[in-house]
Amino acid sequence: MKTAASPGAAAGRRASPGAAAGLQARAAELREAISYHNDRYYNAAEPEIPDADYDALVDELRALEAEHPELAVAGSPTEQVGAPITTLFAPAAHKVPMMSLDKVVNMDELLAWGRRLERLLEMAPEDAAALRFVCEPKIDGLSISITYEHGELVRAATRGDGRVGEDVTQNVRTIGEVPARLELPPGEIPTEIEVRGEVYLPLAAFEELNARQQAAGLRLFANPRNAAAGSLRQRDPSITASRALGLWAYQVVSADVLAQGTRVEAAGEGDAAAELTNQSGSLELLRRAGFPVNGETALVTGLDAVYAYCADLQERRHSLGYEIDGAVVKLDDISLHRSLGATSHAPRWAVAYKFPPEERTTLLEDILVSIGRTGRATPFARLRPVRVGGSTVSLASLHNEDQVALKDVRPGDTVIVRKAGDVIPEVVGPVLSMRPEGVLPWRFPSECPLCGGQLVRLEGEADTYCVNFDCPGQKVQRVAHFASRSAMDIEGLGEQRVAQLIDAGVIGDAADFYDVRADDLYGLEGFGEISARNLVAAIDASRKRPLPNLLVALGIRHVGSTVAQALADGFGDLDHIMAASEEELASVEGIGPVIAASVAHFFASGANLAFVERLRGGGVSFGTRAVSELPRLLEGKSVVVTGTLAGWSREEAEAAITGRGGKSPGSVSARTTAVVVGSSPGGAKLARAKELGVPILDEAGLAKLLETGELPG
Ligand code: IVH
């Protein structure tokens, strides 16, 4: 199986004989690949490639068959849904086929779908504008059909190939959210009703399951969908029962709502399902009958509102607690479902609005090693650029030697790349069936790629280090760190600029910044008179940075912004910190023995003390703030400030909080005591505070809190 997932050469309408043979071969190759991946997905419940790559294969084959009808063959995977069933479970034929959904990926395609509805329903545009749609999250789990007779659960089946699924009744009975009996008044119980929905694993349960798997030395599941499928398709229902599976019910199939026309059985007397005329009513019935119906579902009018729903859901997709891969848009009016019917694989009355994929495959071109400011050598992947999670990814960290071995990724592999939301891109693992022959495991280099010095991995540690303090790679990183935002914040000094200044001999280390004159810069590549003067001014401004910034800039192990703030609060200036013993350091709130030892160790080094003295000579402020003698009214409290306050700068407000023993972090969590909101606050912080029910204060509320230590009543 070595079929590239990317679409092949564009198919021309009238192909030459040679090209025709090529197209035929490509179609055969695509069919083979699709069947193989169907089997991995549906039968082994262990797909090898992301859905988006699978979809690309199907899309390519579908386009090829549409352009060249002579290439279409009976039983092509483009006509099928899912995969043939296995022998693990008894077959269960679906009375109404379980279909797939056509997809759209943007507003234009959504509007084109709308125009098709308008045409098929022979509607005037103004009537079409009044069409109502039910919008639902597209749950990334596996679809299930559950049949009730006279209100009792009698059968549950997976989708299988859409016509015949697997009988998983015993397993589905163990899912707590699936009612064993419909909770409807006796008069409303239908003779027979089929409920369809998605079995899924909530993210928290997925993480817990993988933690258990790891502890037991068992294989980890790649994602919640695979874990849900693996959990449902168990021979032993007690295993399914232990997996915290959930259900979202989203469709009713009963005698009178068969979009495909075949009557299952006459509806019973007073049958609630028989009276269903719209999808929103179906969901309401499901809710009343005791099924979980997703709360993100909405009934809207017109495609603009549908699009707004999809865009909003996409924004929030990572805060739902379960994975979704899009929205499903369904015409509300069930009579229209009947008029529209279905194609060979999908109904015409519904469409999936798919979100941009968060996993794709690409080529791992090489594994390289970068050197950080502490000398840590981090392996990273150089990837053939791929669009994933809304951006183009060409680099991804592989963290350390063990991670590379554990994932068994090798240069030359096709790998799965994942980028979800704001999370940094990750190489998930290789697609083993696509590994070319002769590809060897990667070995950690024994020499630093930048200075040629030895790379050392200490016994019991995960990381490998370049131990040459003069390594140019480390030096650039150290100096760039010194100039960075949370440190001395020297504008315009990124990694490349720093490397340039070191190479040109303008600076040897960060303390040299304070001797740089505009003349030294003028004439260097990229420096004109103005930019040279600007950089000197930016360096000058950094002389007055507050003490915590200076502490961060020194690059002491374990000293980030929070610890630096605690040290500054505890000692007031750098001289007192340098003079403090390990015990005195550890007596400060927020400083534990490890940090205290690290700080003491740093200032015990002659080289470091010499560096600090050069900074003093260069005019850098060592902090003058008196140690806080304010009452520690906010001890144990955490107060977040967002937006602009009239009477205080953000720094002043935060200092007033920390000066009284409180914390003032940059983000809101369940442990936040209160959020102080000024004008133009950060939307995310405010929204999170509201979501978590954290008290929100205005400026007067802050003043009260500072004075009394209590939240205003
Ligand atoms: S409706 C014929 N609603 O998406 C109607 N499907 O790509 C199809 N899915 O097989 C089902 N959430 O497994 C529907 N709210 C939802 C859904 C949903 C997830 C899955 C389902 C289906 C697949 C179609």
pLDDT tier at 291 (50, 70, 90 boundaries)? very high
Ligand 1 atom showing the smallest separation from residue 159 Cα: 10
CA of 328 from ligand 1 middle (Å) equals: 7
Query: Looking at the predicted structure, is the pLDDT value of residue 628 above 70?
Result: no
Name the residue type at position 287: R
Identify the pLDDT of residue 12: 36
Identify the pLDDT of residue 274: 67
Q: In angstroms, rounded to a whole number, what is the distance separating the alpha carbons of residues 707 and 265?
A: 74
Q: In angstroms, rounded to a whole number, what is the distance separating the alpha carbons of residues 414 and 436?
A: 9
pLDDT tens digits, one per residue of 206-223 = 999 999 988 888 878 878
CA of 102 from ligand 1 middle (Å) equals: 10
- Report the pLDDT averaged over residues 253-274: 48
User: Which of 138, 201, 349 maximizes ligand 1 atoms within 8 Å of its Cβ, making it the mutation to test the pocket?
Assistant: 138
Identify the pLDDT of residue 332: 97
State in words which class domain 17-80 has. Answer: mainly alpha
Residues 472-542: name the CATH superfamily: 5' to 3' exonuclease, C-terminal subdomain (1.10.150.20)
The CB of 325 under 6 Å from ligand 1? The reply is no
pLDDT tier at 66 (50, 70, 90 boundaries)? confident
pLDDT tier at 265 (50, 70, 90 boundaries)? very low
Identify the pLDDT of residue 627: 56
- Give the chain's mean pLDDT: 89
Q: Which of 7-16, 342-351, 465-474, 591-600 has the lowest mean pLDDT?
A: 7-16
User: Which of 139, 195, 297, 337 maximizes ligand 1 atoms within 8 Å of its Cβ, making it the mutation to test the pocket?
Assistant: 139
The CB of 249 under 6 Å from ligand 1? The reply is no
pLDDT tier at 15 (50, 70, 90 boundaries)? low
Identify the pLDDT of residue 498: 96
Higher local confidence (pLDDT), 647 or 248 = 248
Query: Looking at the predicted structure, is the pLDDT value of residue 352 above 60?
Result: yes
The CB of 234 under 6 Å from ligand 1? The reply is no
CA of 123 from ligand 1 middle (Å) equals: 26
Ligand 1 atom showing the smallest separation from residue 346 Cα: 2
The CB of 250 under 6 Å from ligand 1? The reply is yes
User: Which of 328, 332, 337, 348 maximizes ligand 1 atoms within 8 Å of its Cβ, making it the mutation to test the pocket?
Assistant: 328
Query: Looking at the predicted structure, is the pLDDT value of residue 83 above 70?
Result: no
What is the residue with the minimal CA distance to atom 4 of ligand 1? 138
Which of 217-231, 266-280, 389-403 has the highest mean predicted lDDT (pLDDT)? 389-403
Identify the pLDDT of residue 514: 97
pLDDT tier at 269 (50, 70, 90 boundaries)? very low
pLDDT tier at 268 (50, 70, 90 boundaries)? very low
The CB of 143 under 6 Å from ligand 1? The reply is yes
Query: Looking at the predicted structure, is the pLDDT value of residue 13 above 70?
Result: no
User: Which one of the listed residues 2, 95, 103, 138 is annotated catalytic?
Assistant: 138
pLDDT tier at 71 (50, 70, 90 boundaries)? confident
| Domain range list for the chain | 17-80, 103-354, 359-466, 472-542, 547-617, 639-708
State whether residue 455 is helix, strand or coil.
Answer: strand
Which CATH topology does 359-466 take? Answer: OB fold (Dihydrolipoamide Acetyltransferase, E2P) (2.40.50)
Identify the pLDDT of residue 436: 96
User: Which of 41, 96, 100, 101 maximizes ligand 1 atoms within 8 Å of its Cβ, making it the mutation to test the pocket?
Assistant: 101
Identify the pLDDT of residue 77: 78
The CB of 251 under 6 Å from ligand 1? The reply is yes
pTM given for the model: 0.65
pLDDT tier at 254 (50, 70, 90 boundaries)? low
Ligand 1 atom showing the smallest separation from residue 142 Cα: 13
Q: In the 8-state DSSP scheme, what is residue 255? A: G
Identify the pLDDT of residue 81: 64
Q: In angstroms, rounded to a whole number, what is the distance separating the alpha carbons of residues 66 and 228?
A: 35
Say if CB 326 and CB 103 are below 8 A apart: yes
The CB of 328 under 6 Å from ligand 1? The reply is yes
Query: Looking at the predicted structure, is the pLDDT value of residue 4 above 50?
Result: no
Place of tokens 């007055």: 544
Closest by CA position to 656, among listed 696, 697, 707: 707
The CB of 282 under 6 Å from ligand 1? The reply is no
CA of 563 from ligand 1 middle (Å) equals: 49
Q: Which of 268-277, 467-476, 581-590, 667-676 has the lowest mean pLDDT?
A: 268-277
The CB of 138 under 6 Å from ligand 1? The reply is yes
CA of 101 from ligand 1 middle (Å) equals: 7
pLDDT tier at 704 (50, 70, 90 boundaries)? very high
Ligand 1 atom showing the smallest separation from residue 342 Cα: 2
The CB of 139 under 6 Å from ligand 1? The reply is yes
Query: Looking at the predicted structure, is the pLDDT value of residue 587 above 70?
Result: yes
Query: Looking at the predicted structure, is the pLDDT value of residue 166 above 50?
Result: yes
| Lateral strand order in the sheet of 696-697 | 639-642, 674-677, 696-697
The pLDDT > 90 percentage for the chain reads: 69
Query: Looking at the predicted structure, is the pLDDT value of residue 9 above 50?
Result: no
The CB of 144 under 6 Å from ligand 1? The reply is no
Q: Which CATH number fits domain 547-617: 1.10.287.70, 1.10.150.170, 1.10.150.20, 2.70.98.10?
A: 1.10.150.20
Domains 472-542 and 547-617 share a fold: yes
Return the beta strands (E) in 296-390 as ranges: 298-301, 324-331, 350-354, 359-371, 376-388
Which CATH topology does 103-354 take? Answer: D-amino Acid Aminotransferase; Chain A, domain 1 (3.30.470)
315, containing H or E segment: helix 303-315
212, containing H or E segment: helix 203-215
- Report the pLDDT averaged over residues 194-213: 95
- Report the pLDDT averaged over residues 479-495: 95
Closest by CA position to 395, among listed 419, 430, 422, 421: 419
Q: In the 8-state DSSP scheme, what is residue 664? A: -
CATH of domain 639-708: 3.40.50.10190
The CB of 350 under 6 Å from ligand 1? The reply is yes
Identify the pLDDT of residue 270: 53
Ligand 1 atom showing the smallest separation from residue 100 Cα: 24
- Indicate if 2 belongs to the active site: no
Identify the pLDDT of residue 271: 62
Identify the pLDDT of residue 275: 73
CA of 352 from ligand 1 middle (Å) equals: 8
Identify the pLDDT of residue 684: 83
The CB of 100 under 6 Å from ligand 1? The reply is yes
Q: Name residues whose C-beta falls within 8 Å of residue 109's C-beta, 6 or more positions apart in sequence.
A: none
351 strand-pairing partners: 329
Identify the pLDDT of residue 38: 81
Place of tokens 């063959």: 73
What is the residue with the minimal CA distance to atom 18 of ligand 1? 138
- Report the pLDDT averaged over residues 303-331: 95
